[in-house]
Chains A and B, each alone.
Chain A
Amino acid sequence: MTTAAAPAATVPVSRADPFSPRNLADPARLHGALRDAGPVVYLSRLDVYALARYEQVYAALVNWQQFVSRHGVGLSNFKYEEPWRPPSILLEADPPHHDAPRRVLVKILGQRELRRLREAWLADADALVTEVLAAHPADGDGWTELDAVPALAETFPLRVFPDAVGIGKDGRENLLPYGNHSFNAFGPHNDLVARGEPDVPRLAAWIGAQCQREALAPGGFGAGIWAAADRGEITGQQAPLVVRSLLTAGVDTTVHALGAVLSCFAGNPSQWRRLRERPELARTAFDEAVRLESPVQTFFRTADADVELGGAVIPEGKKILMFLAAANTDPRRWDNPAAYDLDRDPSGHVGFGMGIHQCVGQHIGRLEGEALLTALACRVDAIELAAPPRRKLNNTLRALESLPLRLHLA
């Protein structure tokens, strides 16, 4: 619902469409233009207020009181429009409703809880790399070629995460399309969304079935969520929606983060050598890629009341579009922001968000990254692009369709 009343005179206006195919494919120019235009920019085509600088994106992320999530964290305002599925009780909820589900998931996915998975995932990554290298034998000079997206970036998360959740083996090919559509649905109702819609009923039904108590294996994250419901920490109605959050947000994001980190190394051979010299940099390498590429590019909030930010007043009810990717490459915050540099401390990036909605699965993502990079760094001493990568357009995600790499065996 847009009544495009002109914003106050002090807010710069942009006619840019962040969701155009060109801007989705290559957003850096738009990010720079928005950052430089001002701390807050009115996007007239969408009737939303854009934040692209680190300072304002950070401020909006942590300020859950005034920048609310319950009216949706996509373009659609749930006050006026029907969401495409029942709202997420984690993502699209504010305190107090947000408290109990969040608390349950934080416990289940905590850093300490993941310790029990660490050894297994390191071994799994090792096994996958062995299999992949065997399936793509090297030439006489020790070089092999493969597409890292299907071979590694998609395969590794699908190998470890669904089992950790405890879902059944059948139908896992539905996970990526469901997540892909969910993230498209945060954007405008464009072609990307329309193309996914016909499959939604089938995918949503499958996802819903995976969230039921009986479908989830003992000991997994899903079982843990139902156990929390049995202890009264959340309700029986909330439990399947919490599982749904894991399945929606837990796969595509890590797939694209792994694609991003491999793509960063392919473009920066000196950094791969650095990682081999100092394997303990694997976690830094992953976070630096999340910073630079920002697999999740954007999220929205809604102004709960007139709110002042960066000298501008954002009127009540308006949507705010936070460019996490622009904040992560803001020269006001980062020295040489476009460089992929393992000697930089990427801490404080907003690729996982910040505050009470900060990605509850971040520790899982980091563990997957650490495992895959550690396994690869043992066996491969050089990574380069074999052919130009192909982008997969998504309204919210920065994703690769194809990442042809040449790997040199160590």
Chain B
Amino acid sequence: MTQAPAAPDDRTVVVTAKSKTADGVVTLTLARPAGGRLPDWAPGSHLDLVLPGGLTRQYSLCGDRWDAFRYRIAVRREAGAAGASAYIHDRLREGDVLGIGGPRNNFPLVPADRYLFIAGGIGITPLLPMVAQADLLGVDWTLLYAGRSAGTMAFLDELAGYGERVRVFAGDAGKRLDLADWLGEPRPGERVYCCGPDRLVAEVRARCTTWPSHSLRTERFTPAALSVTADSGPFEVKLARTGATVTVGPGATVLDAVLGAGASVLSSCRRGLCGTCETTVLDGRPDHRDSLLDDEERAGGDSMFICVSRSVGGRLVLDL
């Protein structure tokens, strides 16, 4: 009997480690429940994490992409007892299984003669792998890392190994980051990457208006209003051309379900990366779990990648 070698990507991960990394920050290590490689990613990528109840939040991948079997994310406790971060800090346990989407990258590291990384608080997470990458590229870089206090700033120990390239500004130690020192004169060929609280990002933006265009890239973590509530329950898929209807259960994929109903759909990577299985959506709202569509394209909702993506409501109608 012939077998495909890769386990179907059912878009779940298991928490293999949970540890306190700093005051108010926990780090999670994630792996596929059945083992196996996780989808490839580049620095700046974020993962959609789907928590019990369907709450979905984005977290930057901050681990080592040369480890194909594990993801690392760091989660800061946000105010409010009912939110995702409270769940992750107080209730999530090693061995728990969560849903994922992506990873996607809105914050890619582009080529540069020099990098200036500016991190505020938990904004260090997407920049940490960028620092490692810049080192690998042999490109000169500096990281400015600001936070309330050293105790709240994650990954200081990892960054210590880079020496003088990393400047730490711990507010309670009286060291305040003065952006005028760093963003005064525009330096052509230098790229500035900034992630952190809105106030920091806004100030960096303002100072970079005199820089050549495309010098600055920033990442904001999606506010709650934009996050989808995913439904991991079963849903129906109607194949518009044949009239057939199939049910997609929690562990199953739309792709396998429609193949079972006789639809002829090509696929390839089965991980939401290559785009081969793109299918037109005629009705219903997809729960996008792929690595390809940006937020605007996702909101358009007129097509989906059926190897990994699911449904927000109870029913999808596909052009099959």
| A interface residue numbers (CB < 8 A to B) | 54-55, 58-59, 62-65, 95-97, 99-100, 103, 110-112, 231-235, 238, 278, 280-281, 283-284, 287, 331-335, 345-348, 352, 354-356, 358, 362-363, 366
Contact = CB atoms under 8 A, between A and B. Distances in A.
A349 B131 CA distance: 37
- 8 nearest CB pairs, A to B: A232-B214, A111-B275, A347-B267, A99-B42, A111-B278, A96-B133, A235-B111, A55-B5
A332 B110 CA distance: 42
Given A362-B276, A363-B275, A100 B267 contact: no
For chain B, which range describes its interface: under 10, 10 to 19, 20 to 34, or 35 or more residues?
35 or more
Interface in B48-85: 65-66, 68
28 contacts: A58-B5, A58-B6, A63-B68, A64-B40, A65-B66, A96-B136, A100-B108, A100-B109, A100-B110, A100-B111, A103-B108, A112-B297, A232-B110, A232-B214, A234-B111, A235-B111, A238-B111, A278-B264, A283-B264, A332-B2, A333-B2, A333-B4, A333-B5, A335-B2, A346-B266, A354-B268, A362-B268, A362-B274
A65 B264 contact: no
Could you say which of B43, B110, B133 has the most chain A C-beta atoms within 10 Å of its C-beta? Answer: B110
B264 A284 contact: yes
B298 to A, nearest CB: 12
Nearest to B217: A232
A185 B125 CA distance: 43
A317 B133 CA distance: 23
B264 A281 contact: yes
B22 interface: no
Given A333-B2, A362-B276, A347 B110 contact: no
B26 interface: no
Given A332-B2, A333-B2, A356 B40 contact: yes
Chain B interface main SS type: loop
B254 to A, nearest CB: 14
Interface in B244-267: 259, 264, 266-267
B222 interface: no
Nearest to A330: B2
Given A103-B108, A281-B264, A358-B268, A62 B278 contact: no
B208 interface: no
A111 B276 contact: yes
Interface in B78-115: 105, 108-111
B292 interface: yes
Chain A interface main SS type: loop
Contacts of A111: 275-276, 278
B109 A345 contact: no
Contacts of A63: 37, 68
B109 A99 contact: yes
Contacts, number: 93
Nearest to A102: B42
A362 B4 CA distance: 21
A96 B214 contact: no
Given A111-B275, A111-B276, A347-B266, A99 B37 contact: no
A334 B270 CA distance: 17
B276 A363 contact: yes
Contacts of B3: 333
Contacts of B40: 64, 355-356
B62 to A, nearest CB: 16
A332 B1 CA distance: 8
Contacts of B6: 58
B173 interface: no
Nearest to A63: B68
Contacts of B297: 112
A280 B133 CA distance: 45
Contacts of A65: 66, 68
B299 interface: no
A284 B276 CA distance: 12
Could you say which of B37, B40, B214, B266 has the most chain A C-beta atoms within 10 Å of its C-beta? Answer: B266
Contacts of A235: 111
Could you say which of B109, B276, B292 has the most chain A C-beta atoms within 10 Å of its C-beta? Answer: B276
Nearest to A238: B111
Contacts of A234: 110-111
Contacts of B4: 333, 348
B303 interface: yes
A280 B269 CA distance: 21
Contact of B269 (A96, A97, A354): A354
B191 interface: yes
Nearest to B132: A96
Given A58-B6, A100-B108, A347-B266, A110 B214 contact: no
B137 interface: yes
Contact of A96 (B2, B137, B264): B137
A125 B215 CA distance: 44
B110 A233 contact: yes
Nearest to B1: A335
A335 B111 CA distance: 46
Contact of B268 (A55, A332, A335, A348): A348
Given A62-B37, A232-B191, A363-B276, A95 B266 contact: no
Given A95-B42, A97-B137, A347 B111 contact: no
Given A64-B40, A348-B270, A352-B268, A96 B109 contact: yes
A362 B274 CA distance: 9
Could you say which of A54, A59, A111, A356 has the most chain B C-beta atoms within 10 Å of its C-beta? Answer: A111
Contacts of B111: 100, 232, 234-235, 238
